[in-house]
């Protein structure tokens, strides 16, 4: 285990199982269709790559970067687009892949944007859901893990751009925040 991690909350094996289930759910929903899957960077990148490869349905992929956090652990209002898609989503079935739905602001932003651009359908899949922290009324269509009001890192999730490459999800030691 990484020296800065206090405890592991979700193991690599648990992640694998949930990714498989999410891929099966998407395959049922999109059988015979031609969806485009969008990864919201950077947090969803690990989940995204595992998910699209676990799916049987062929999907196109694209990426978008939103920014709502500085280097800290508290969300700061309306997310801005830092990098936009290269795909025209008009008339397309869109699968939005998120790392975590926390306040819900990012998901609302993405939904409004993609629906506003004429997506034929919008389906949001998230690795983690923190329902206790919601500021806006939105829910992903599929969520792999519900987590409490704790700041987690690993499997794409960062603290100050670190810990994203850990293959499991953990809670940081207190002294890391208090530095």
Residues identified as active-site: 102
Residue 174 half-sphere exposure, CB side, CA atoms within 13 Å? 0
Q: Is 25 in the site for ligand IMP (CB under 6 A)?
A: no
Stretch that binds ligand IMP, among 8-16, 51-59, 94-102, 113-121 (CB under 6 A): 94-102
Q: How many CB atoms lie within 10 A of CB 64?
A: 20
Structure tokens at 19: 């990714």
Q: Is 169 in the site for ligand IMP (CB under 6 A)?
A: no
Cβ pair 152, 5 in contact under 8 A: no
Task: Please identify which residue in 35, 43, 79, 154 interacts with Mg ion, judged by CB under 5 A.
Answer: 43
Q: Residue 93 or 98: which CB sits closer to ligand IMP?
A: 98
Task: Pick what 157 binds: ligand IMP, Mg ion, none; C-beta below 5 to 8 Å, kind-dependent.
Answer: ligand IMP
Could you say which residues in the range 62-91 bind ligand IMP, by CB under 6 A? 68-69, 75, 79
Chain length of the chain: 179
Structure tokens at 149: 């009001």
Whole-number Å distance between alpha carbons of 77 and 23: 31
Contacts with ligand IMP, residue ranges (CB under 6 A): 43, 68-69, 75, 79, 98-107, 151-153, 157-158
């Amino acid at each position: 285990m990484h020296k800065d991690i206090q405890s592991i909350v979700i193991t690599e094996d648990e992640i694998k199982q949930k990714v498989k289930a999410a891929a099966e759910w998407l395959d049922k929903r999109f059988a015979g269709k031609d969806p485009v899957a969008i990864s919201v960077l950077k947090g969803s990148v690990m989940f995204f790559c595992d998910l699209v490869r676990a799916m049987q349905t062929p999907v196109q992929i694209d990426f978008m970067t939103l920014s709502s956090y500085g280097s800290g652990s508290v969300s700061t209002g309306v997310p801005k687009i830092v990098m936009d898609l290269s795909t025209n989503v008009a008339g397309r079935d869109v699968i939005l892949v998120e790392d975590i739905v926390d306040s819900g602001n990012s998901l609302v932003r993405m939904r409004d944007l993609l629906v506003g651009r004429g997506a034929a359908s919008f389906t949001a899949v998230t690795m983690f859901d923190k329902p206790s922290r919601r500021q806006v009324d939105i829910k992903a269509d599929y969520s792999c893990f519900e987590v409490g009001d704790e700041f987690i890192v690993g499997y794409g999730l960062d603290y100050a751009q670190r810990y994203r490459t850990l293959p499991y999800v953990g809670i940081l030691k207190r002294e890391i925040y208090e530095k």
